[in-house]
C-alpha cells in the first residue's frame, strides 16, 4: 500500500511544467489526490492509486468533488471497454447507451491505406447487439458520461463492467 509520502513522490514525477507544484494531499479510499498549484488551465491535479501507484490526471470539465467521487467508484482510467452483462429494461438501456455515443470501427481500404474511422452505432443496431450478452462496446472514453452509467446502475436498467482498455490493446 502506497503511503502519502510515496504518493507525493510519484505525483511530483508526473509534473511536466516548471510552473506547477503540488498542494496538500487529500486521502481517498483508493488513492491520494494532489491538487496542482498553477495558473495553467486543463488539469486540476493528479490522483495516485494506493495499490498500484498509477497516476490519473484530472481534467477541468467537472468539479474536483465529482471527479474524486467517481474515482472511488472505480472510474480510474482514460479509456474503457464497456461490457453489458445483463439488461433489465431494454428501452431505458438503449436510451442510456445512446447518450454514451458508442461507435463501431469497420476498416476500409482506400489509396493504399487501411482506415479505421469510428462511426456511431445506430439505435436499431444497439437493440440487436444487446440480444447477445455479454455485449462489448470497446474503446470508450466515458469521462463525460459517468453520470449516465451511475444513473443506469441506480435505476437498475442494466448491469455493466467498465474495464480498462490497456495500451496496445487496439493494435492488430
Boundary residue ending a domain (72, 95, 127): 72
CA distances from 30 to 50, 63, 80, 154 (A): 6, 19, 19, 22
Please indicate, yes or no, whether the overall pTM of this predicted structure exceeds 0.75: yes
What are the pLDDT digits (tens) for 77-107? Answer: 989 999 999 999 999 999 999 999 999 888 9
- Domain check: are 132 and 110 in the same one? yes
In a domain, 170, yes or no: no
Q: Which residues contact 170 (CB under 8 A, 6 or more apart)?
A: 138, 139
* pLDDT value for 171: 44
Tell me the pLDDT band of 169, cut-offs 50, 70 and 90.
Answer: low
Among 72, 105, 121, identify where a domain stops. 72
Is residue 101 domain-shared with residue 137, that is, in the same domain?
yes
Q: Based on the fold, state whether residues 115 and 132 are members of the same structural domain.
A: yes
What domain count does the chain have? Answer: 2
Is residue 172, in this structure, part of any structural domain at all?
no
Amino acid at each position: 500500500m502506497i503511503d502519502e509520502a510515496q504518493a507525493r513522490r510519484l505525483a511530483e514525477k508526473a509534473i511536466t511544467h516548471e510552473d506547477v507544484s503540488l498542494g496538500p494531499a487529500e486521502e481517498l479510499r483508493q488513492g491520494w489526490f494532489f491538487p496542482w498549484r498553477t495558473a495553467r488551465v486543463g488539469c486540476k491535479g493528479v490522483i495516485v492509486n494506493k495499490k498500484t501507484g498509477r497516476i490519473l490526471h484530472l481534467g477541468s470539465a467537472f468539479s474536483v468533488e465529482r471527479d474524486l467521487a467517481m474515482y472511488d467508484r472505480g472510474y480510474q482510467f482514460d479509456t474503457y471497454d464497456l461490457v453489458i452483462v445483463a439488461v433489465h429494461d431494454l428501452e431505458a438501456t438503449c436510451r442510456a447507451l445512446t447518450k454514451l455515443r458508442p461507435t463501431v470501427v469497420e476498416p476500409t481500404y482506400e489509396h493504399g491505406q487501411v482506415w479505421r474511422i469510428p462511426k456511431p452505432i445506430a439505435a436499431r443496431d444497439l437493440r440487436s447487439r444487446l440480444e447477445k450478452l455479454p455485449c462489448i462496446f470497446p474503446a470508450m472514453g466515458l469521462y463525460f458520461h459517468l453520470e449516465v452509467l451511475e444513473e443506469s446502475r441506480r435505476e437498475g436498467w442494466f448491469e455493466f463492467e467498465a474495464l480498462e482498455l490497456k495500451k496496445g490493446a487496439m493494435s492488430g
